Amino acid sequence: MPLILDPGVMAHLEPLSPTPRTRPNRSRARAQSDRAALRDTLDGGLICHLGVVVDDAPRVLPTAYGVDWAGDDPYGTLYLHGSVAAHSLRAAPTQTVCVTVTIVDGLVLARSAFHHSANYRSAVVLGQPRLVTDDSERRRALDLIIEHLVPGRAPTMRPHTRKELAATAVLALSLREASVKVRSGDPVDEPFDVEAGGVWAGVLPIRVVTDPPVTAQDSPPGVPVPDHVTARALSEGAPRLAPSR
C-alpha cells in the first residue's frame, strides 16, 4: 500500500531549485537544497517583490504576502493580493512571474571594496499564478496575509464584506519552483590584504526591530493593546516600554 503524506510534509521532500531556471549558476556554495531554507526565508520576511510584465515592460512591485504550506498547490501556496484594478495582478495569471523575498542580516565590510558583501537570506519563486475565485480560499488567503504580518490578528477582525472582497484580487503561486541563497559569516579577503593589516574588517549585524505600539487617535479610551500586537512587537526585539497612545 503506498504511503500517503500530508501536503505540509510533501512540501519539504523535493529539493529546492527543481528546474534549470531556478538553479543558481553563480555563488553556488550559497544555494540551499533543503526546503526548510525556503520556509525560513518566507516566514522571516515581511514584504515580497512581484516581477511581472505589463504593457511589454517589466514591473517589480512590493506587496504583502501569506503562505499556506499545506495549500492546494504543489509544495505549498504563496498568496498575493491587491486591487482588482491593478494592471499587474490582472496580467500575472497569463504569464510566468517572479516573486522574491530578501532578508539582510548584516553588512560584510572587507579590506577591499571588491570583497564587500552582505549576509542575507534570499528566495526566488517562479511560476504562473492562478487567480483565486473560490470564496472560502480567498478569505483564507487574506487571513493568512494578515497572520503573516501579525500572528493572532486575523481572528480578531470582523468578517470581510462583499464589497471588500469584490474590490480585492488574490493570486496563488505554487512554491515548487523556487531557489534560496544564504550568505553568513566573515568577509572573504585576499590573503595579501589580511597580511597587510591596518584596515578593520568584520560584519555589521542588521535586524528588524519595532517601537512600542501606538494606539490610533480615534480609538475609544480604555481599549488595551491586544496581546498579539505586544507579542509581535517583542518578537522583533522592541524595547519593553509602555505602549503609546
Domains and CATH numbers, the chain: 7-190 (2.30.110.10)
Residues 6+ apart with CB under 8 A from 74: 10, 174, 175, 176
Residue type, 1: M
Polymer length in residues for the chain: 245
Structural contact between residues 93 and 174, judged by C-beta atoms closer than 8 angstroms = no
Task: State the DSSP H helix or E strand holding residue 80, giving kind and residue range, or none if neither.
Answer: strand 77-83
Residues 6+ apart with CB under 8 A from 29: none
What is the pTM assigned to this prediction?
A: 0.85
Pairing type for strands 48-54 and 57-63 reads antiparallel
DSSP three-state, residue 30: helix
Please tell me the predicted confidence (pLDDT) of residue 1: 38
The DSSP secondary-structure symbol of 154 reads: G
Spatial distance between the Cα atoms of 199 and 121, rounded to a whole number of angstroms: 27
Please tell me the predicted confidence (pLDDT) of residue 25: 66
Spatial distance between the Cα atoms of 140 and 159, rounded to a whole number of angstroms: 11
Distances (CA, A) of 132 to 47, 57, 89, 90, 170: 20, 25, 11, 12, 6
Please tell me the predicted confidence (pLDDT) of residue 47: 96
Consecutive 10-residue runs of the chain (245 residues): their mean pLDDT?
A: 43 69 71 88 95 95 95 92 93 96 97 96 96 95 96 94 95 95 94 93 94 92 92 68 38
Distances (CA, A) of 160 to 38, 40, 83, 118: 30, 30, 15, 41
Please tell me the predicted confidence (pLDDT) of residue 12: 52
Pairing type for strands 57-63 and 77-83 reads unpaired
Residue 59: burial class (beta carbons within 10 Å; 0-12, 13-18, 19+):
middle
